[in-house]
Amino acid sequence: MPTYYTAEGLQKLKDELHELRTKGRAEIARQIAEARDKGDLSENAEYDAAKDAQGLLELKIAKLEELIAQARIIDESMIDTSKVSILSKVRIRNKATGQEVEYTLVSEEEADLKQNKISVKSPIGQGLLGKKEGEIAQVVTPRGKIEFEILQISR
């Protein structure tokens, strides 16, 4: 199933994969060689830890390779701003508190709350998808149901 990214988001994934394949693998190989030089491998905790780290690194590399293989870049000029979709910038108001916030809906891997980028798979993201300006989105969160009014949709 394809996952949609901005060109910038996909490039970040490719850069991370390159980093893991080169520097990450080289560092693990150095750790394994260093641990191997310390003697008996059957009772060498450093060697076991390095081999475990190698396995985790290879899993992460495989996951990134799969994400990149299934990635599709979204043409931001084609985003329909009549309803909330991925890459929509949405200004919402919490009906209970009156607090307003603006979020950009992105793929799960691009989500970054510090930049107000939330995943379309998050509870708020799922609640907002498909809504139009003026509509109320009911979002179920761990703290209960919250209602948000969609104030503006842009890209």
Report CA-CA distances (Å) from 115 to 30, 35, 65: 36, 41, 26
> Which tokens in the block code for residue 16?
């991370």
Are 99 and 138 within one domain? yes
Residues 100, 65, single domain; the answer is: no
Using alpha carbons, select from 113, 88, 78, 106 the residue that is nearest to residue 12. 106
Confidence check: pLDDT of 59 > 90: yes
Rg over alpha carbons for the chain, rounded to the nearest Å, is: 22
> Whole-angstrom Cα distance, residue 11 to residue 42?
42
- Give me the residue label for tokens 């830890």: 49
pTM: 0.65
| Predicted local confidence at residue 47, as pLDDT | 86
Calpha distance 151→132 (Å, rounded): 9
Domain containing residue 52: 3-73
- Report which of 94, 89, 93, 83 is spatially closest to residue 129, judged by C-alpha positions: 83
Domain with residue 123: its CATH number is 3.10.50.30
* Tens digit of each residue's pLDDT (9 = 90 or more) over 63-115: 999 989 998 887 777 677 789 988 889 999 999 999 999 999 988 888 999 99
